Chain A
Amino acid sequence: MNKYPRIFYLIIPSIVFGIFACRTEVQQAFPKYEQTPVLNAVFTADSSMWVHVSFAQSMGNEPITTIPNAQVLVFCQNSCIDTLTHSDNGLYVSDSVARQGVQYTIRAVVPNYDTITATQLIPFTSHVIRSEFIPIVTHNSEGHVSGFDVTIKTTPKQLSYYMIYCFGYSYGNYRQINTSFSEDDPSFIHEGIPSGVISNALYLNDSTLKVRLVYQQGIYYDAYQLYQIQVYHISKDFYEYMRSSYLYEKNRYPEFSFNGIAPYNLYSNTSNNHGVVMSSSVSITDTVRIYNNPSLF
């Protein structure tokens, strides 16, 4: 038997119709964008170098055009130390590895276009000198939050930037755990946005930086007994790019009723303002064994 009055079924659709938005395509031609080479690269210390070269172009129905015939040169102290070879889809690779503390200049020569250049200093590794497991940081509606207090060795009076990841051992592999910086962490608060990167700006005169990573635990989340922590000491360009990337993504799809739209362009450090070349060096802790993880019991 139908327990709701008929009016209920008449009004509900009209309310829903009114509340939910209508999405329609805007029949408007995109502007023509002058084709321009784009240079992207990430140099990681002690890893082989790679560069991606493609075209910036108008919006269209085909994927972005990559450039297979560019000449990509790597310079160190004004001498060319390597010429990268094209592998696939605009990706150029090298057998040589990037070294910590060395400044490299990438020069990409694309026929009929101005040469693009970008320079990058590979940061030194910042080692983790202490990591402490926090079984319960706080409770919440999904269970509880666990965390790590990670202390990193830093160079006093040198502004440095970091990304920190945590991996848990499961089924024979280390899998990345969805960690974030604690919202109460002063360094995180100083950043203003949760872009996943952090700096030592608040503790510039100190020789260490202590930050807290947190992650969700509960009946729907995996718990681990073995952990590793990876610290990426990243360049300023890497830091700026990650911040711009967060703002770019956040504002690309506004959530109605929660935030508006404020389009944001990605950071660039290349000579033609298209693409980014950035660098990092990684430090991985020894495996941390946790004996008192309440999520395991």
Chain B
Amino acid sequence: MTRYIQHIFFILLLGVSYTAQSQYNIACTGTVRDAQSGELLIGASIHHVGTNNAVYSNERGIFTIFVQVPSRIECSYVGYASASFTITSNTDTTLTILLASNNIIETVQVVAAQTTKANTSSLTMRELTAIPALGGKPDVLKTAQLLPGIQAQNEGSSLLTVRGGDPGQNLYLIDNVPLIYVNHLGGFTSVFNPDVINALDIYKGSFPSKYGGKLSSILNITQRSGNASTIKGNYTVGLSDLSFTLEGPTKIKNTQFIISGRKTVLPDVFMYAASSISRGNSVKLSYGFHDINAKLTWNKNTYNTFACNVYYGDDYLNYWGKQGLSESFRYTNAWGNKLVSLTWNNTRFTKLHASHIVSYTNYRSATKLNFSIHDSSSVHIRMHDMSSKSQALAQSLWEYTPTSWWRIEFGLQSSFDTYIPDKRYNSLEQQSEPHTSLYGNETALFADNVFRIAQRISFTPGVRIQQNSVESYTSTHIEPRIQLAYKVSPYHTISTHYMQVYQNSHMLFTNGSIMSNEIWIPSDTDIAPSHAKQYSINWNGQFLKSMFATECNVYYKEMANLITFKDGYTSIRGDDQWKQKIATHGVGTSYGLELFIRKQKGDWQGFTGYSYSHTTRTFAQTNQGKTFIFDYDRPHSFSIAILRKFSDTWSISGTWVYQSGLPYTPVLGRQSAIGLNFDNEYVVYESLIYGERNSGRMKPYHRLDLGITHTSTNKHNQRCEWNFSIYNAYNRKNPYYYYYNHDNGSEFYTPNYQDEIGFKPLKMYQISFFPIIPTISYKVYFEGERYRAYTQEKQKNKQDKGPQTFKEKFRAWMFYEN
């Protein structure tokens, strides 16, 4: 550790000694915003005209550039008209740059960061909102799965596996605040509502040192602040859910809000109807989810901004009914997150910016059973079962740019975590059963230095020092992060990266379960913190006047102290001895190649990506200690997404995905085995002999999705969008898993020697979900100012033209209005 710290100080001293060579004399800092809505523009380019000096606004929309006075500055952002101005002040300056949209259509077509960062994937808002996912509505995580290096856990799932990592190794952030559970409908859709997203970055490697605690990826979503000038919003009616968004200024000066919510309706209705229609069935069933996102932003002055974020979302599966004349029961299974955060951004000093965040996040998965007998005995029983994780987090993030060639980001994060792997309550027991609540603290100090050590070379050493304690267990880790980048030309950069990261909380999940399938457990003396090292080489380039942006990554990743279920186990719920079911100290390796091309200008836009990867795992307690292919390893993955806007009325989108099949454990043969029948007699039956874990591979996965959007104006002069989409357009039966039975019925069969119905040979079958699914949704945009202007104009027209309808004419005649 001492050696690391010595190296860091050496680098810092090197930076100080270089200061004298600075040729710029003032620092210009500020934010870039949309002129109409006031929304921050993230990734906008601020360029000193006539030089190669350019910077980009960060995830808080802030930039700092050093210039000589006087100098001409140009600010540009895709989808917006460039703005330029001259700086003449001799002192450090703070600015707010407002860019006007090129698009006259009311909706601000915000385009996310177009700067290609190494090991980082980003999606434009157009891509996010135009590519339909399962259910016909856009989905952030589903669209992200089209990017190279990022794969779905399984069909229909929003859980991500990034560069061979486990689904629990991804850090999901909303405005820098972690969200623990990110799925609705068991992963068929994610909790992120595209309507409130400003920008999305996914770090697959070389994490900035302010991010940590997860091994595989950081998905950082910056939420919109809402429109600062007028009240506007939209609502959507889809087959899966209803949603709404409302945004605008409040009555408090310089304050704006955005609020968005979703609620399933039809799945609730249909499941309830299906269970009710069948006569004689006394059990009702309903499934659904709801979520709400809200953000209130107060721009107190040029230098200080305060924001409050709230998220609340739940999935639920309920069934209830009556048994006989006197008994009734209600079973509820609910799982989801809640999050609240307060943020203070300060840019009072030109070269020193700060952001302070306090937040609370809670994830819980719970089941409740209420049972009553309504007779003379009048019995009422309540049983609860819950697993949860909560985190109270305080962060102080600083960015200091003393010179044009050195920038440092540093700060402190400290969280107080509570884990309850399993808590049960039974009203008959008079009191809650004893359960384990584990309390932990995780504190991290971090610093990232960005040195421009030559005109074309930048060097970014960083370090994150993290201490984790749970009960009596404490561990301290140092995570070095290093990048070296060489700018071959203004449009091409080659970089190398090294990163170490530790993860102190582990997620166990049940593959294939749509309910309560995630349980978080902390590291302790038995379960060591997971650890990963990643090496990568990256090339980013742009061609044909930035019409095409390309990216190529090669990476190698080593993971240690991984955990998983031991062979045969799929859940630890309701089990106090859950550690018996967990295999620990696992080792993983992953390497791969990723290629990505995005066409970002012109009528036809879109992207294509390809990745080759190979990922393995080794656990002493599983597969007889032999190394096996990772459960979600797909060596080849190819995707293409195309967006085309034909006119203001019609636009289309299409995606095609091809992936190698998932690995599975095949049956090699069969043998006789002994079993006990219900009469406690021994029987000999035919059993399967499985091969090594994941030594087979299922059929390849491929799918075509199509979407058409028709935009029009309704009679209230509101913009409306009809979206028609087809999931799995050519009805490919992609395998979800393989199993063995004598036919494709749902009755399972085990041949045995006493079988009176005779021997039936076993065959291999596949389960496929999601055939061709056409969907439709209808979205209406409304705006306070426009609607008021429209109604006023309509009134005026009426007055000008006189009575039109029979009713109006009759009224005019009756009351002598003529």
Total chain B interface residues with beta-carbon distance under 8 A: 89
Which residues A171-212 have CB closer than 8 A to chain B?
176, 178, 183, 189-193
For A57, the chain B residues whose CB sits under 8 A away are 669-671
Partner of A141, one of B371, B684, B759, B771: B371
Q: How far is the CA of A274 from the CA of B673 in the complex (A)?
A: 9
B699 pairs with A142, CB closer than 8 A? no
B687 pairs with A266, CB closer than 8 A? yes
One digit per residue, 1 when the CB lies within 8 angstroms of any chain B CB and 0 when it does not, for chain A 141-157 equals 11000000000000000
Partner of B684, one of A40, A58, A256, A274: A40
B690 pairs with A264, CB closer than 8 A? yes
* Given A15-B270, A64-B686: A258 touches B515 (CB 8 Å cut-off): yes
For A52, the chain B residues whose CB sits under 8 A away are 672, 674, 684
B690 pairs with A263, CB closer than 8 A? yes
Taking the closest CB of chain A, its distance from the CB of B53, in whole angstroms, is: 54
One digit per residue, 1 when the CB lies within 8 angstroms of any chain B CB and 0 when it does not, for chain A 45-80 equals 000000010111111111110100000000000000
Q: Is B604 an interface residue (CB 8 A)?
A: no
A254 pairs with B773, CB closer than 8 A? no
For B574, the chain A residues whose CB sits under 8 A away are 183
Q: How far is the CA of A30 from the CA of B740 in the complex (A)?
A: 11
Taking the closest CB of chain B, its distance from the CB of A181, in whole angstroms, is: 13
Q: Is B234 an interface residue (CB 8 A)?
A: no
Taking the closest CB of chain B, its distance from the CB of A211, in whole angstroms, is: 15
For B765, the chain A residues whose CB sits under 8 A away are 23-26
Q: Which residue of B lies closest to A28 (CB)?
A: B764
Select the residue from A24, A90, A190, A219 with max chain B CB neighbours within 10 A: A24
A261 pairs with B737, CB closer than 8 A? yes
A259 pairs with B571, CB closer than 8 A? yes
A263 pairs with B769, CB closer than 8 A? no
Select the residue from B682, B689, B690, B761 with max chain A CB neighbours within 10 A: B689
Q: How far is the CA of A103 from the CA of B571 in the complex (A)?
A: 38
Q: How far is the CA of A15 from the CA of B264 in the complex (A)?
A: 14
Q: Is A12 an interface residue (CB 8 A)?
A: yes
One digit per residue, 1 when the CB lies within 8 angstroms of any chain B CB and 0 when it does not, for chain A 14-57 equals 11111001111110101101000010101000000000101111
Q: Which residue of A lies closest to B738 (CB)?
A: A26
Which residues B137-166 have CB closer than 8 A to chain A?
none
Q: Is A123 an interface residue (CB 8 A)?
A: no
Partner of A138, one of B381, B569, B753: B381
For A241, the chain B residues whose CB sits under 8 A away are 674
For A28, the chain B residues whose CB sits under 8 A away are 764
Partner of B689, one of A56, A142, A251: A56
* Given A141-B371, A265-B689: A190 touches B671 (CB 8 Å cut-off): no
Partner of A260, one of B513, B577, B671, B689: B513
* Given A25-B744, A247-B567: A31 touches B668 (CB 8 Å cut-off): yes
Q: Is B76 an interface residue (CB 8 A)?
A: no
B270 pairs with A11, CB closer than 8 A? yes
For A247, the chain B residues whose CB sits under 8 A away are 567-569
Which residues B722-762 have CB closer than 8 A to chain A?
733, 735-741, 744-746, 748, 751, 753, 759, 761-762
Q: Is B558 an interface residue (CB 8 A)?
A: no
Taking the closest CB of chain A, its distance from the CB of B190, in whole angstroms, is: 19
Q: Which residue of A lies closest to B267 (CB)?
A: A15
Closest 10 CB pairs between A and B?
A: A33-B669, A247-B568, A260-B511, A260-B512, A56-B671, A264-B568, A23-B744, A263-B665, A141-B329, A54-B672
